[in-house]
Structure formats: C-alpha cells, structure tokens
Amino acid sequence: MRIIDLSLEHEPLYFCCLEDWSEEMKEAGDHKEKWFQKMKNKGLRVKLAVDDHGVVGGMIHYLPIELSPYEGKDLYAILCIWVHGYKQGRGNFRKQGMGKALLQAAEEDVKALGAKGLVAWGLIIPVFMRASWFRRHGYKTADKEDMSRLLWKPFSTDAIPPRFIKRKKKPEKIFGKVSVTSFINGWCPAMNIVHERAKRAAEELGDGVVYQVIPTEKKETIMEWGISDALYIHHKSVRMGPPPSYKKIYRKIRKKL
C-alpha cells in the first residue's frame, strides 16, 4: 500500500468518493467538482490510498480551518476520511490499515505546512467517521454538538482548540407557500444528493413551493447562518444522513402543501 497525492487521472474517482459504480452517486451532480475547482488553490489537500495492485481504496481531504465549517485558527480540518467498504465496484478495503495510513500522511503533511494542529469531526454512534476511531489515534474532544464531536490533535503548545459554529438562524416561512431551502457547500456527494432530490421534488410540486439555494462555500455565509449543509422544508430541518430518498422528500413537501 502507498499514499499518493490526487492526480488529474484520479479526479473523477475523487469526485464520487470512490463509488464510480453507484447509480445513486450519479444523482449528486457536479457540485463537488465545482467546489474542488474553487478550493484547490486555496489550500485544499487530497490524498489517496492505493493497494499493491494499483487500485485506489481510500481517500482523505482536508483544508485550512479558516475555509472549513468550523471556527479556528492556524489549523487544518479534515472534511472526510473514507475507505471503500462495499463489495460492489472496487471491493472492500477496510481492516487493511488504509485509514490509519491516510491519517498519518495528513498529519505529516500539515505539520510540514506549519499548521498548529489537525481537526476532525466524528460521530458518537458506530457509523461513518466514528469519534472513537479518532480518539484511538490520539485525538481529543474540543467541542460537542448533539451526536457530533469536534476532535483535534495539536502540534504546538500555543494551538487554540477549534469550535463548532453554532446555528444562528433558519429560513423564514413564506406566507401562502411551502418554502424549501437547501444549504449546500459542495464537498460531500451525500449532501449534494439531498440537494438535487429536494430541487427535483420542489419543481415537480409546482407553484405552491418556493425553492431556494444558499451556497455556503464562503465562510462568511456559514458564519451568518451557522449552517454548512442542510435542508429545510417549511422552516423545519430535515435529517440528511443517510440521504433520505426522493420519495420521502417529495412526501414531506406535499404534506405541507
């Protein structure tokens, strides 16, 4: 196994989070690619784990925390670390040390860049991006929010702990209409799928629905709302993970109508 930097050859694979076999992933559109084009010269770093046969099995991407959905200074933030674990497509690469190798490579990279620490988000439930996994690799909890934890590993004694950006407001109701508001950052295809499904459902349901998109790739927008990726249907937030089906989103909007 070896860790490599993202190349032009592997960009399409990165844009779909290694799931080039997935029909669902095709629903995500080109939002991640557009986000990448905006961020690639602003400090975004992407590394891939490749097995002995040259097959990509894992990925990690991280960027300066000043561009991330978190508050902090002179740190880098991991948006996602992912090892392909499905039987479909390229197969299951878990339990081979790829995740650990990717994390170590990222730590060495940001140290060389002069960052004072590396930050990651994690969940306390045993699913994707487990907080417990990061703790086993020396990360400590810096902040809490519901089932999410913001963890970090400082590299210098003067490093300041990161914080979640607290939600400040939510979309207002529109009299006589059902409002559907999609906050989209672009980096996560799963979130992008929800965005595309909500857009399609709102268009199909017609004039009784007002659909609006709020892009959040700019930090100022995240700070204004306290939101990075979210879907609101008539003033109420919809759980986005795992992505709700098109039918479920459609029914939620139609019920409000």
> For the chain, where do the domains classified as CATH 3.40.630.30 start and end?
2-164
The rounded Cα 204 to chain-centroid distance in angstroms is: 28
* Residue given tokens 């892009």 in the structure block: 215
The CATH number of the structural domain formed by 178-256 is: 3.40.30.10
Give the Cα separation of 146 and 6 in Å (integer). 33
Report the DSSP pairing between strands 117-123 and 76-83: parallel
What residue ranges of the chain are covered by domains with CATH 3.40.30.10? 178-256
Q: Along the 257 residues of the chain, how does pLDDT read in single tens digits?
A: 999 999 999 999 999 999 999 999 999 999 999 999 999 999 999 999 999 999 999 999 999 999 999 999 999 999 999 999 999 999 999 999 999 999 999 999 999 999 999 999 999 998 889 999 999 999 999 999 999 999 999 999 999 999 999 999 999 888 899 999 999 999 999 999 999 999 999 999 999 999 999 999 999 999 999 999 999 998 899 999 899 999 999 999 999 99
Note the pLDDT of residue 189: 97
Q: Hey, what long-range contacts does 132-135 have (CB within 8 A, 24 or more apart)?
A: 133/99
Instruction: Tell me the one-letter amino acid at 174.
Output: I
Tokens of residue 178, six digits:
């059902």
Contact 237, 170 (CB under 8 A): yes
The second-level CATH assignment, the architecture, of 2-164 is 3-Layer(aba) Sandwich (3.40)
Mind listing the pLDDT tens digit for each residue in 6-21?
Answer: 999 999 999 999 999 9
- pLDDT of 173 reads 86
Residue 56, SS3?
Answer: strand
* 71: its two tokens: 């508050």
Report the pLDDT value the prediction gives residue 235, as an integer from 0 to 100: 87
| pLDDT tens track for 70-101 | 999 999 999 999 999 999 999 999 999 999 99
Give the closest residue to 47 by CA, choosing from 32, 62, 34: 62
Position 241 scores a pLDDT of 85
Full-model pTM: 0.94
